């Protein structure tokens, strides 16, 4: 299974370029004696005998680190998000005589989520969306929003710090005020130049997460009332996960998924859905991304047991 994980991580699969890794996964599925199918968007799926699907995604962010092992952990881009989950599914399939479960490997999770949107409209059922949760079952997925703010100022000579209007300072003041009310990270901040002048433009990209107790419309109105140009690239409400007994009995304590996942599209299209999988989200999308090897193996064992139970 670790050899499969290494092969998966060594295949670059940023969003929009999933063909090579899809072909690799398809080849393994055929080798294990099952029939992979591919839909119009490039999602790969394998149909079993129940209404329960284990779903993960083929794509990753751009490569930041190569694969390596240290005995306890595997490291590398996508190793937890979500190629560890892929390896667990494939490991379970390799040991299965027949498939009670259904499996899907989706495209475009890291960008627009078009793979899960298309797939969840075409099929129906229940889904365990595999994302790094340290093998706990998520009780909910927080809402999320991406917003770009453009602050404008009035340039003057840089020696006149107390005249003109500094766009960067306007942005910082707004960020500090928003931080007192909301949970978000500053993803990008651009402004100023090498000219000795007070900056007249600062562009900031903020990434928000929020729970059910936050009025998302009030938050949106507050952002739109800032003295800035405001552009939202995404705005998703939080979702509550459903209880799926087959996975609940093997999972540990409950958790909260802090990031958008394909579970959103499944939920919106009427599926019962939960989020579960090996790995820890905190270091994903960085050069420190890692996953415990025993979590991958344990996930494969759990998937295989559930597969046998639903046959």
The pLDDT score that the predictor gives to residue 235 is 95
The pLDDT score that the predictor gives to residue 54 is 98
Radius of gyration from C-alpha coordinates of the chain: 22
Contact 289, 74 (CB under 8 A): no
Instruction: With cut-offs at 50, 70 and 90, classify the pLDDT of residue 207.
Output: very high
Instruction: With cut-offs at 50, 70 and 90, classify the pLDDT of residue 1.
Output: confident
Contact 57, 129 (CB under 8 A): no
The pLDDT score that the predictor gives to residue 129 is 98
Res. 311: pLDDT tops 80: no
Q: Do domains 2-141+240-310 and 143-236 have the same CATH topology?
A: no
**Under CATH, to which class is 2-141+240-310 assigned?**
alpha beta
Q: What does the pLDDT look like over 165-188, one tens digit per residue?
A: 999 999 999 999 999 999 999 999
Res. 142: pLDDT tops 80: yes
For 143-236, the fitting CATH number among 1.10.3470.10, 3.10.180.10, 3.90.550.10, 3.30.70.360 is 3.30.70.360
Could you tell me the two tokens for 118? 């298309």
Res. 39: pLDDT tops 80: yes
- What percent of the chain is modeled with pLDDT above 70? 100
Region 214-243 average pLDDT? 96
Instruction: With cut-offs at 50, 70 and 90, classify the pLDDT of residue 164.
Output: very high
Q: Which residues contact 102 (CB under 8 A, 6 or more apart)?
A: 45, 46, 47, 48, 50, 51, 52, 53, 54, 125
Collapsing DSSP to helix, strand or coil, 113 comes out as: coil
Q: Computed from CA positions of residues 282, 285, 290, 293, in that sequence, does the dihedral angle turn out positive or negative?
A: positive
Region 26-54 average pLDDT? 97
Task: Give this prediction's pTM.
Answer: 0.94
Q: Give the other-Cβ count within 10 Å of 154's Cβ.
A: 12
Region 260-273 average pLDDT? 98
Region 200-228 average pLDDT? 97
Q: How far are the Cα atoms of 48, 115, 172, 211, 271 from residue 43, in angstroms, in the given order?
A: 16, 6, 42, 30, 18
Contact 292, 264 (CB under 8 A): no
Instruction: With cut-offs at 50, 70 and 90, classify the pLDDT of residue 106.
Output: very high
Region 10-38 average pLDDT? 97
Phi/psi at 139 (nearest 5 deg)? -90, -20
- Ordered by start, the domain boundaries in the chain are 2-141+240-310, 143-236
Res. 80: pLDDT tops 80: yes
The pLDDT score that the predictor gives to residue 181 is 96
Collapsing DSSP to helix, strand or coil, 177 comes out as: helix
């Amino acid at each position: 299974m670790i050899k499969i994980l290494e092969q998966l991580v060594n295949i670059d699969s940023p969003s929009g370029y999933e063909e090579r890794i899809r072909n690799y996964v398809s080849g393994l599925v055929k080798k294990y004696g099952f029939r992979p199918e591919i839909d119009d968007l490039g999602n790969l799926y394998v149909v079993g005998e129940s209404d329960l699907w284990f779903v993960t995604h083929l794509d990753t962010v751009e490569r930041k680190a190569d694969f390596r092992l240290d005995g306890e952990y595997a490291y590398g881009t996508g190793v937890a998000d979500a190629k560890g989950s892929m390896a667990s599914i494939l490991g379970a399939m390799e040991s299965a005589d027949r498939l009670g479960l259904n499996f899907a490997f989706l495209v475009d999770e890291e960008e627009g989520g078009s793979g899960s949107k298309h797939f969840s409209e075409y099929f129906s059922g229940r889904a365990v969306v595999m994302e790094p949760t340290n093998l706990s079952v998520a009780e909910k997925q927080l809402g999320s929003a991406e917003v770009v703010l453009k602050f404008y100022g009035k340039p003057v000579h840089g020696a006149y710090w107390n005249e003109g209007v500094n766009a960067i300072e306007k942005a910082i003041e707004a960020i500090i005020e928003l931080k007192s009310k909301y949970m978000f990270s500053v993803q990008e901040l651009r402004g100023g130049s090498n000219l000795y002048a007070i900056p007249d433009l600062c562009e900031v990209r903020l990434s928000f997460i929020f729970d059910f107790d936050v009025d998302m419309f009030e938050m949106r109105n507050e952002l739109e009332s800032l003295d800035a140009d405001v552009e939202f690239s995404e705005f998703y409400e939080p979702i509550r996960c459903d209880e799926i007994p087959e996975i609940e009995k093997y999972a540990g304590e409950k958790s909260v998924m802090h990031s958008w996942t394909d579970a959103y599209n499944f939920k919106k299209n009427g599926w019962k859905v939960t989020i579960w999988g090996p790995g820890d989200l905190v270091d994903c999308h960085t050069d420190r991304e890692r996953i415990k090897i025993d979590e991958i193996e344990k996930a494969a064992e759990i998937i295989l047991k559930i597969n046998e139970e639903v046959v």
